[in-house]
Amino acid sequence: MSVPPTSDRGPRRFGWPRRVFSQVLLMQLAIITGVTVLVTGLFLAPLSHQLDDQAMRRALAIAQSTAAQPQIATGLRTTDPSAHGPVQVAADRIRRATGAEYVVVMDRRGVRWSHTETRRIGAVVSTDPADALGGREVMEIDSGTLGRSARGKVPLRDTSGEVIGAVSVGIAYDSVRARLLAAIPGLLAYAGGALAVGALAAYLISRRLQRQTHDLAFSDISALLSEREAMLHGIREGVVALDGTGRIRLLNDEAQRLLGLGPDAAGRPLEEVLDGGRTADVLAGRVVGDDLLTVQGARVLLANRMPTDDGGAVVTLRDRTELERLGRELDSTTGLIDALRAQDHEHANRLHTLLGLLELEMHEDAMEFVTEVVGVHRATAEQVTEKVRDPLLAALLVGKTTVAAERGVSLRLAPGTLLPDRVVEPRGLVTVVGNLVDNASDAAAGSPDARIEVGLRAEGRSVVLRVHDSGPGVPPERYETIFTEGWSTKDLPAHGRRGLGLALVRRLAERQGGSVSVTRGSGGGAVFTVVLPEALAGPPPREAAPHDDPDARCTATTGGNT
């Protein structure tokens, strides 16, 4: 399900935009603007305090230098306060030289002896001079008759060190503010440059995000995520998503069930959770192709792998276990029908032969013919059940003997065959024997002296199965390949795929801690050997192994010899 990208075109409406590009750009611009304003404010606040401090220290320094003038203290002692007195003249000269707003000299009563406005000379100062008259130096920002100013006050001492007055120097606060305002344009220029660079970076990031999100709105992305989660966990196909490093990024419920994994597999390397094998090779992309068959545990899976742009892949898994089982049952049923059809044809031939003998009044020959036919089939079943005590395996071998005979293949039990009725898992052994006999029958059919030899014997609690056919054999370089899922030399059957029989044999053997191998027989053909430890229940019986005599063989041949 696809969601069409939203667009900002259409009627203009005020409000928050829907597209990711617009939202991210606006948010980034707002953040950059806020940070720029905050940084500018944080810079201007200490700058204002710094300029105020500098102005107060300058006023204090002017006051200290004024108080150090000896004529100021002498004039304060010897003259009266006046607009043309020596104290006013000296203070006014210092004020003009330093650029101060005012230089006020006062006596211990706080009476001015100098001032910028001469009419205020002789009057008491407007601010409390107690600290300065007490011998302490003062720096402050305060308001007086000339407005707000940065002030410095120091005591005025005579030659003996006695405090006889004070000197107060002020620098107009407007001049400090003017310096601050003069610095603001430069600060704003830097802040504006930083804002422009941030806006450009925000635009580029937003454009990249727009391409990656296909210009969807956040609500659309959230809806897609919810729909994806519902779809992945609702479908009946396993889905495994891998990243570029081979780590599992996503695993839905069906994939967990098919692969036998838990929810903690997500986030772990593929090789770690699957321990190698063909299934791991298929999922990792080391085996390529469409509809790849693999066996995981007891399940037959069909896998398809699709690479993604980031170097990862998405693998879908379908369960074909039941389909393969039904297909094998169909093959078995078809084979049984063919065998019954052949037996019906053979039975008709025998009846016709018997009818001819009776019509020719060859009664003794007819009795011998009937006795021979019945005896061969009875001997076959009796000899199989005598050597193979498990009823399922015995029935399988009797049936396979008949089917093989109709294809011109002789199926016999090998010398030394003896299997007691103590098989722990007979169905698994039936699967192993059936697959190997079917493959051997296909390989031996059409060869000179076509035959299959099946050996089953108990070694302690282990079962050793050996199937030897007279076919062309298996090349040494194929000894491992033939056990791979999907590998087969046969034509594709009507119901699906081949290449699972030997893979299932190996998987069943390994699941019981056993092994399966293939070699070349001494007289040609292939020899498959399966070892299943702990396949028998209870202690082994005390009985001798059968001797290698002709009676140990059970042979089924085609119609002319029966």
Instruction: Report, in angstroms and rounded to the nearest whole number, the Rg of the chain calculated over CA atoms.
Output: 54
Most confident of 84-88, 228-232, 491-495: 84-88
What span, in angstroms and rounded, lies between the C-alpha atoms of 339 and 347?
12
Could you tell me if 249 and 368 lie in one domain? no
Residue 561, pLDDT score: 36
Phi, psi dihedrals of residue 131, rounded to the nearest 5°:
-65, -45
Query: CATH code at 280?
Result: 3.30.450.20
Let me know if residue 535 belongs to a domain.
Answer: yes
Task: Give residue 557's pLDDT band: very low, low, confident or very high (50, 70, 90).
Answer: very low
Let me know if residue 517 belongs to a domain.
Answer: yes
The average pLDDT across 108-127 equals: 88
The average pLDDT across 345-352 equals: 72
Query: Of 269 and 46, which is predicted with more confidence?
Result: 269
Task: Give residue 372's pLDDT band: very low, low, confident or very high (50, 70, 90).
Answer: low
Could you tell me if 424 and 511 lie in one domain? yes
Residue 133 in contact with residue 42, Cβ under 8 Å?
no
Query: Of 208 and 228, which is predicted with more confidence?
Result: 208
Q: What is the pLDDT of residues 237-262, one digit of tens each?
A: 888 889 888 888 888 888 888 888 88
Query: Of 91 and 539, which is predicted with more confidence?
Result: 91
Q: What is the pLDDT of residues 392-408, one digit of tens each?
A: 888 888 878 877 877 88
Nearest to 515 by CA among 533, 492, 527, 488: 533
Distances (CA, A) of 385 to 378, 398, 417, 428, 454: 11, 9, 11, 19, 14
Task: Give residue 377's pLDDT band: very low, low, confident or very high (50, 70, 90).
Answer: low
- Residue 561 amino acid letter: N
Could you tell me if 266 and 129 lie in one domain? no
Q: Which residues contact 253 (CB under 8 A, 6 or more apart)?
A: 233
Nearest to 152 by CA among 64, 90, 51: 64
Could you tell me if 98 and 124 lie in one domain? yes
- Residue 74 amino acid letter: T
Please state whether 496 falls in left (phi above 0), alpha (psi between -120 and 50) or beta.
left
The average pLDDT across 507-519 equals: 84
Residue 175, pLDDT score: 56
Residue 333 pLDDT > 70, yes or no?
A: no
Query: Of 225 and 430, which is predicted with more confidence?
Result: 430
Q: What is the pLDDT of residues 287-315, one digit of tens each?
A: 888 888 787 777 778 888 998 888 889 99
Dihedral of the CA atoms 408, 411, 412, 418 (nearest 10)?
Answer: -170
Task: Give residue 378's pLDDT band: very low, low, confident or very high (50, 70, 90).
Answer: low
Let me know if residue 298 belongs to a domain.
Answer: yes
- Residue 278 amino acid letter: R
Domain final residue pick, 290, 319, 348 = 319
Query: Of 515 and 45, which is predicted with more confidence?
Result: 515
Q: Quote the mean pLDDT of the chain.
A: 77
Phi, psi dihedrals of residue 478, rounded to the nearest 5°:
-105, 5
Alpha carbon of residue 335 to chain centroid = 48
Nearest to 163 by CA among 125, 136, 135: 135
Could you tell me if 345 and 431 lie in one domain? yes
What span, in angstroms and rounded, lies between the C-alpha atoms of 188 and 58?
28
The average pLDDT across 184-201 equals: 76
Query: CATH code at 363?
Result: 3.30.565.10
Could you tell me if 355 and 311 lie in one domain? no
The average pLDDT across 442-466 equals: 90
Count of Cβ atoms closer than 10 Å to residue 439 Cβ = 23
Residue 71 pLDDT > 80, yes or no?
A: yes
Task: Give residue 530's pLDDT band: very low, low, confident or very high (50, 70, 90).
Answer: very high
Residue 454 pLDDT > 90, yes or no?
A: yes
* 3-class SS of residue 135: coil
Domain final residue pick, 319, 339, 355 = 319
Could you tell me if 35 and 184 lie in one domain? yes
Domain final residue pick, 282, 298, 319 = 319
Residue 488 pLDDT > 70, yes or no?
A: no
Let me know if residue 230 belongs to a domain.
Answer: no
Let me know if residue 494 belongs to a domain.
Answer: yes
Let me know if residue 99 belongs to a domain.
Answer: yes
Q: Which residues pair with 315 in a beta bridge?
A: 240, 305
Residue 380, pLDDT score: 67
Could you tell me if 404 and 483 lie in one domain? yes
Residue 328 pLDDT > 70, yes or no?
A: no
The average pLDDT across 111-121 equals: 89
Task: Give residue 286's pLDDT band: very low, low, confident or very high (50, 70, 90).
Answer: confident
Could you tell me if 484 and 548 lie in one domain? yes
* 3-class SS of residue 289: coil
Could you tell me if 350 and 312 lie in one domain? no
% of the chain surpassing 90 pLDDT: 13
Phi, psi dihedrals of residue 494, rounded to the nearest 5°:
-70, -30
Residue 85 in contact with residue 93, Cβ under 8 Å?
no
Could you tell me if 336 and 278 lie in one domain? no
Task: Give residue 11's pLDDT band: very low, low, confident or very high (50, 70, 90).
Answer: very low
Query: Of 75 and 349, which is predicted with more confidence?
Result: 75
Query: Of 148 and 458, which is predicted with more confidence?
Result: 458
Residue 396 in contact with residue 430, Cβ under 8 Å?
yes
Please state whether 63 falls in left (phi above 0), alpha (psi between -120 and 50) or beta.
alpha
Provide the residue count of the chain: 562
What span, in angstroms and rounded, lies between the C-alpha atoms of 154 and 68?
10
The average pLDDT across 202-212 equals: 74
The average pLDDT across 132-157 equals: 82
Let me know if residue 403 belongs to a domain.
Answer: yes
Let me know if residue 140 belongs to a domain.
Answer: yes
Query: Of 54 and 8, which is predicted with more confidence?
Result: 54
Residue 468, pLDDT score: 93
Could you tell me if 201 and 96 lie in one domain? yes
Residue 487, pLDDT score: 53
Residue 529, pLDDT score: 94
Residue 7, pLDDT score: 44
| Structural domains of the chain, count | 3
Domain extent, residue 276, equals 235-319
